[in-house]
Structure 1
Amino acid sequence: MEWERAARAFWPLATMLAVLFAVVWLNLVEEISPELLPWVTGAALILLVVTAIRGGLRYRRVRRREVVERLDRTLPGRPLAALSDRAAIGGEGALWQAHLAQMSRSAAQARAVKPDAGLSRRDPFALRLAGLVALVMALIFGGISDMDRGLSAIAATANRPGTGDAKPIGPSWEGWAEPPAYTRRPTIYLNAQPEGELLELPKGTTLSFRLYDDSTGVSQDIGTAIAADDPKAPTFRAEESGVISVGDRRFEVTVLPDEVPVIRAGAAPVRRADGRMVQDYEAEDDHGVMAATATISLDLPQIDRRYGLAADPEPRADVELALPIPRRADRRDISGQLVQDLSRHPWANLPVTLTLTATDGIEQTGTAEPMQTILPGRRFFQPLAAALIEMRRDLLWSRENADRSAEILRAVTWQPEGFVDQQLYLQLRGAVTILESGEISEKARDEMAEALWQAAIQLEDGGLADALQRMRQAQEKLSEAIRNGASPDEIQRLMDELKEATDAYTRMLAEQNERDPSERFTRDQERQMITGDQIQEMMDEIQRLMNEGRMAEAQELLEQFNRMMENLQVTQGDGDGDGIEMPGQGGAMGRLADSLREQQRLSDDAFRDMQEQFGNGEMGQPSTNSDEMAERQRQLREELGQQRGLLPGQGSDSGDRAGDQLDEAGRAMEDAEQALRDGDMSGAMQRQADAIESMRESMRALGEMMQGQQGDQEGGAQEDPNGQRALDRNDRPGGNRRGGGQQGQPNRPITHDPLGRESAGADGNVQGGGEEIGGAMDPARRARDLLDEIRRRSAERQRPEDERDYLGRLLDRF
C-alpha cells in the first residue's frame, strides 16, 4: 500500500525526471536554439517543482486500520472485523464462541494482497511508459561525454550576452578529438586532459570545438580545416604533429602515423583430395585489417610453350579471390586459410604468380612478395580423360587450337568399339563437327569446355560418382530415421541399404586402382590408413549401438563414418596386402583441439563484451550478447560431452585422467553458461579459463597415452639381417598377426577399429585396453560406461526437469 500511494502521487515526477535525464544524456539540448534554451530549462524546472509539491500533498502514510480493512475485504465474511466485535445481547455463550472459531479459521486463510496502483486509470495516455522508453534509449545510446556537453550548453545560457552583468559560469570552450572509426579508439574530451600532457592522436583524427565566448579563438598547425556553417564550431583533421592553442590552453599533439598493413603467405598452396586449393596466410596492422585479397596471374615466361600452348593466349583477367577474415577476432593480427576450387580454370596445373594484398581502414594496402607456384587443380589419370582435359585447356587458352583439337578428337575416336562408350562417342563426334565448322564464338567455346569437363569426369570416375551419391543418400536416410525415432524394422532396412551402398562404393573405388576391396584405403587429409575390414567393423559397431538403443552414440558414430568415407581414397600398399591402423586418438585429439580453440574464442568474445560494458557504465547488467554467448557455451558443452563418450583409452591411467579432466571442463562450462545468462561476465570468464585449463590437461594425458602406445609399437622393432631396423609382421601397428597367437589358439587377424581399439576379428569382439565389447564386459568398465551415459544425459537441457533431477541424484550418490 505504501508503494501504491507513492506511485499514484509521484508517477508524474518520475516521468518528468526520466524524460529530462534522457534529453541531457542523449545531448538533445544542442537541438534547441540558444534563444529558447533558457525558457525551456526554466519551464522544466518549474514543472519539476510543481509535480514534486503535488506528489507530496497527495501522498499520505498508511495506517494500521487501513491495512486491516484492505486485507479483510479480500476474505469472505470480513473475519478480521468480526474477531474484534463484542456481543450486543446474549453474552458470549457457546454460539458466540463457535462464531469466533469460524471467523478464526477464515482469517487463517489470509494472504498478502497484490499491489495495484491503478496507474492505467490515472495515466490514460501512458505517459509513464513513454518516459520509461526514453530512459532506456538514453542508457543504450547515450554517454557521459554527451551529458557533459548538454549540461555545458545549459550552463552557457545562464549568462549569455545582454542578460546582465553576471559573470559567465562554466567553460568558455569545449573540444573533442574523435579518432577514425576503424581504429576503435574512444573520443577524447579535451577539457578533461591534464595540463601539459602530450596528446597522441591517430592520423585522420577529427578535432571539433565549440566556443562560448567571443574572445576565445583556436589556432593550430596540425592539419587542414573542415568547412563548417557555424564559425563558433571550428573543425579540422589531424595530419601532422604540432600545437593547438585554444583560450588559455595549449596542447602538444603528436600524430601517430597509420602503418601500412603487412601480409605474408604461408607455404606454397597445396591440393586437397577433391582438387581444391588451400593457401595459408597471416596479416597484421596497427589498427586492424579490413580486407584481404589473393590475386592469381598467369606466369607466362615459366610455361612450356609447346603443343596447344604454343599460340598466344587470349586475354584473360587475373583471378581475384577474397581472403576470409575472422569477423569477431582481433584483426590487428590474424591468420586464415583460403580454400577455393579452381580445377575448372584454364590456368589449373599451370605456372602462376600468387600475390596477397591486405587493406586497412584508410585504404592503405600492403602486398606480400609474389609467389611463383603451380595453380592446384584436379589431376586426371585415365588416359582418355586426361586427353580431353588437355584439349579443353587448349581451347580455353586460344581458339586458334580448334583445328588441332579436332584432329586429336578424330584420333581418339577412331575405332571406338570397346574403347569409348557409344554415347560419349557421339558427343565427341559432335564436338569435332563444331570445331571444324569455322571460327567458334566465345559462348560456344565455353559450352564445349564444360561438355569436355563432364565427359572427363565421367571417364575418370566411371560410376564412382553415382555410387558415392547413393551412399550419401543412404547415410542421410538412416541419420534422419535415427533422429525421428523410426521403428527398429525401418532402421534395420536402412542400415542394410547403407551397407550395400558402402560395399558398392569401396568395391568401385578399389577397381579403379585394380585393388581388392579388402585392401587398404587412406583418408587423404589425415594420411590415416584403414582397411575394408575396418570399415565393416565400424558399421557393425553402429549396428550394435542401435540394437542396444544407444541412438545418440550411434548417430555420432554415423556422422564420423560419413566424414571418413567422404575423404576415402585407395592407396598403394607395401606389397604384402596388410592393413595399417587408423588410430582414433588422432581424431579425438583433433576434435578436442577444435573445441579448445572454440572455447578460447568464446572467452575472448566475453572479454570484449565486458570491456564494452565497462566503457558504457553498464557493468553487472546482462548485455545483448549474453544469451547468444550462453547458447554457444551450451552447444560447446554438449559437443564436449559427446567427445567424452567416445574418448579412446578408457581403462588406462592416462585415458581415465583425460576423461576426468573433460568432466571437470564440462562442469566449468555449465557454470560459465549460467554466469553468461545472469550477465556475470567476470564469473563466466573465470569458469571459462578453468574449462580451458582442464581441456589442456586432457590433451596432455591423451598425448602421453599416444606416446606410450607408439613406444610399445616401436619396442617390437628388430634388426634385419642387413642391420636395418624393421617391424616384425606380428608387431606392425594394425598389421595382421598371423601365427602370432598363443599356443593352441587359432591365428586371427588383429586390427584396430575406428575408435582406436584392438579387434580380435574372428569372434566379433572388439577390444580396447584389455576389455571386450560385444563379448563379456568387465564390470568396472560397464560401470564407467553407465556413469558416462548418466553424465551425458544430465547435461541435455531438453530433457524433462524431473528426469534431470533424478540423474543428478544418481551422480551425487555414485
Structure 2
Amino acid sequence: MGGPEHSLTAPTAQNGGHHTPDGNAAPPSLALARHLAAMRQRAGLVLRAEYLRPALLPPFALLGLYCLGGLLRVPQHLPDNARLVLLAAWLGLCGWRLRAGLRGIAHPTPAAINRRIEQASGLTNAPLSTLADRPAPSPDARTALLWQAHQQRVLASLGRLRAGWPHLLPHSRAGQAAGATLLAALVVAGVLAGSSAPGRILAAFIPGRDDPDVPLPRVEAWITTPSYTPNAPVFLKTDASGTSSPAGTAPSPQVPQGSHLTVIVSGIATAPVLRGGGGLVLDRTQVQQLDAQSWRLNATLAHGGTVRLAGRGRTLAFWPVNVLPDAEPEVKWGPRPGAPKGEWRTRLPYEASHAYGLSSLDMEMRLAHPARGMDDRRVLSLPVPLAGHQHAVKGVLTPDLSEDPWAGMDVTGTIVAQSLSGRRARSAPATFTLGARVFHSPLARAILDVRRRFALGQESRADTASDLETLGDTPGPIRDHSGMALNLAAVIAMLDNSRTDAHTAWVGATNMLWDLALDIEDRRDGDDASAQASLDVRAAQAAVAQQLAKLRTSGTQTQDAKAELDTRLQALRDAISRKMQALANAAIRNHTAIPDLPGFSAAGDKAFSRLMKQLQSDAANGHSEDALKRLQDMENATERMRNATPQDLAALARQMVAQQKAQEQMAAARDLTARQTGLLDHAQSRLDERLRAQARRQNDLADDGDGEASNYTSMPTSELLRQLGLPVPQDADQANAPPAPPPPMPDPAKAEAQASARRGERATQHALERATEELQNEFKDLTGKAPAAFDDARTHMREARKALTDGDDATAATAEEKALEALRKGRQQMSDAMKGNGQNSTPSFLPSFGSPSEDSSSGSGSSEQGENGSGQPSDETDGANDRDDASARRDPLGRKLGEGRDQSPDDSTHIPDTVTRQRAREIEQELRRRDSDRTRPQQELDYLDRLLKPF
C-alpha cells in the first residue's frame, strides 16, 4: 500500500506537476494526492474489518447464545461449581474459535484497496490502477512528460472518493437467518426480563452471584449497646425491596460508640459481607457459619454512617446509623479546696459526671513547690468512694491528712475520673494547703521537723538518726519517760541498721515518729492519765475504722462481723469515758469553774453513746459511708478534747450555765403555754354549754311555730353579728326588727359558780401576764434579744382579763386563743435566738449526732438535736412528751379538753364543735336573708352588703 502512494506522489515531487512561474507545485494536485492517500488508509481499515468478520462471527454467536441462556436463567439454575465449569468451557470454545479464525486472516493488498475505493466511489476503467502504472522501461523525456500529464488529468478527474462501510453480515442466507434469529431471541428475552436483564447476564458470567429474580435471603439485625449503658437493643428492620430502616419511627438510630452490630442471614449459600459507608467504621468484623444456608456476622460500630450488607453480588440490606461518640468524663474541683483556717482536716470538694456512669474517681496530689533535695516523684493518691456506678457525683471529702509528711504544705491536686466505658479524664489542677495539726510542745515540733526532712528526702538516714539522738539527749519528756526513750531508740536503731531496706525504714520511722510526737504533745502538761486516754482513744478509733472498712469491702453483714464491731465500739466508748474523766480531773486541779461537773460527764456520755448507736445502726444497715462520717465526727470531738486548755474548760462552764438558764426559761415558756391553754379550755367549755342551751331553746320555739320561720328571725341584727364575733354598728338594730324572744331564766347556783370561775381565771390570767413580762426580761438579759411576740401575748391577756370581768366568754376565748398563739411564736423566737447565740448548741467538746453532713469537719451541733450538751431534754423533746400526755384528753373531734398542754403549731387553731358550726351556718343564712330584704333601711343593707361581699 505504501508503494502506490509513493509512485503517485513521486512524479509530482520530482517534476513539480503544474508549476507556477516561481517554480512551486500547483496546490490542487497536492490536495488531491493527500485526499487519495487518506482514503486508501480508510479503505484498508474497512477491508481489515471485513477480513475479521469470518473470525469474529462464530465467537460472537457463541457469546450471544450464552447471554440468551443467561436471560433465560439457564446457567443460574446450576450450582456455582457447575456454572463455573460451564462458563470456563464456553469461554474456552469461544477463544479457540477466535484463534482459529484469526490465524487465516490476510492483509489487504494495494490492488484490493484500489478496487475497494473504485467500487465504493463508482469509478470505471480502474483509474486508481492507472495512477499506479509505470511507462515502459527507458522512456524518453517526451514520453515521460506525456505520462505525467496523463496521470494529472486522471487524478483531477477522480472527483469525490469513498471507502464505504464494511460488510459484516454473513454472505450466506443461512448465516444471515441464523444471526437474525439469535438477535431477535436476545431482544425478546431482554424485553421479557425487563430491568433484571443486566443482572441476569452478570449472574450468568459471574459464578457465586445471584440475579435480581432470586428471592432475597432473610435478614435479622440488631444493635446491642455496651454493657455499661442501660439502653435496650435496637432492632433493625428490612423490607422486601432491600431497603432497610430501624424498627420504629426514627430512621437513623442513635447508639453509643462501641455498640455491637449482629446480623443473622438465612437462605444464602455463600458468606455475606458487611461494608461501611458515609464515614462509618466497622471494627472487629466476624463471620460465623451457622449451617449450610445461615450466617452470623458481628461488628463493632466505631463511627456513624451507613452499614451495607452484601451477598452474592447484591445489596441485601443497608441501615443508616448515628454513632454517638463516647466522650470523656467531666470532672472538676469544687469551690475552695484545702484545709480551712485552724482545721487539721483537708477539705476536698469534687464534681464528676459521665453519661454512662463512673467506675472510679481518684485524687492525685503532688508537691506544688518542691524545695531542693525533695523527692518530687511522690504522688499522694486518695480514692473517692462511689456508691455503685453513679452518673454524676458531687461531694466533699474531709480526710485527716495531718499525718502525711506534706501536712501544712502546698500541693497541686488533680482529680482522675474513669467511666464505665474506659474513658479517662483529668480535672484542671488546683493548688491548696493540706491540713496540719497544731502542736504546742517545742520538742514535738522539733521531732516532726526531723521527720519531715527525712520523709521528703532532704536528709539521709544517718543524718536523721544523728538528729534524733541529739533530741533524745535534750532535757524534757523523753528523758523523763522511759517509754518515749525506748520508742526513740527503736527508730534510731531502725535507721542505723543497714539490713533494713529503704522503704521499710521510711514507713516505720515516719509512723513511729508521728506517734512519738503525739505522745509528747499529750504529756506536755504532765498528765499521764490524759495522755494514756488519748492514746487509747486513737487506737480504738483506728480499730473501729478498720472494722468499718472491712465491712464495706466485704459487702456482707455477718453476725461475727457485727459482734466484732460492737466490741470495738465498746472499747472506744470506754476510752472516751476515761478521757472525759481525765478532763474533769484536770479541771479540778486547775480550779476551773464547772458548776455541774457530773452533768458534763453525763452529757458527754450521752452524746458519744448516741453517736455510737447511730454509727452502729448505719453499719448494720450497710450504710458504711455514713458510718465512716459518724466516726469522723467522733474523731473531731476527741481531737478537740485532746487540745483542751483550762481556758477552754472555763468557756465550757460559762456555756453550760447559759444552757441551764436557757433551758429553765424554755421550761417556763412551756408552762405559760400550758396554763394559757387551760384557761382557753375553761372559757370554751362555758361558751359551748351556753350555745348548746340556746340551740335547744330555739329548736323548741321552732317546733311551737309554723315551722317556716328561721330560729334567728326574731333576733336583732346586732345580736347575730355579735354571736359571729363581728363588729356591730350603732344603727344595726332597726325599729322594724322583730322583738327578740325573752332569754331563759338562768339557774342562780350555776350562774354563781360560773362567776366564781371567771374571777379565778381572771386572777390566773393576770398572773400569767406578769410571768410573761418577767420571762421576756430575763431572756433579754441572757441573750440580748426580747421576743416581740410576748408583747402581743400580754396585750391579748389583758383583753381576755377584761372580757372575763364583763362575763363575755366568747370575747375571752378569742383573746385567750390569740394569746396562746403569741406565746407559741414567742417560744419559737426564743429558740431561734438561742441558736444564733450558740446558747442551745452542743458543748464544744462533744460531737453532734444529727445526720452526717457533707463536710464532716464542722463544729458542734445545734439545738435541733434530741438532746443538748448538758444532757437535759430539749424543748422539742418536752413538746413531744406534752403531745403524748395530751393525746388522751381530747374529744372525738380532736379538740383539747380540760387543762391541756402545749401543742405543735399545726394544732394551734381552735376546732369548733358541731353545734357551733351549725349555729354559725344558720346565722349566716339569716344575714343573707335580711340582705335580700330590700324593705330594710338602706344603711343596714349597705352594711350587710359590705359584710357579706368577701363570702
User: Given the two structures, how large is their TM-score scaled by the length of structure 2?
Assistant: 0.36
User: Given the two structures, how large is their TM-score scaled by the length of structure 1?
Assistant: 0.42
Higher helix proportion, which one? 2
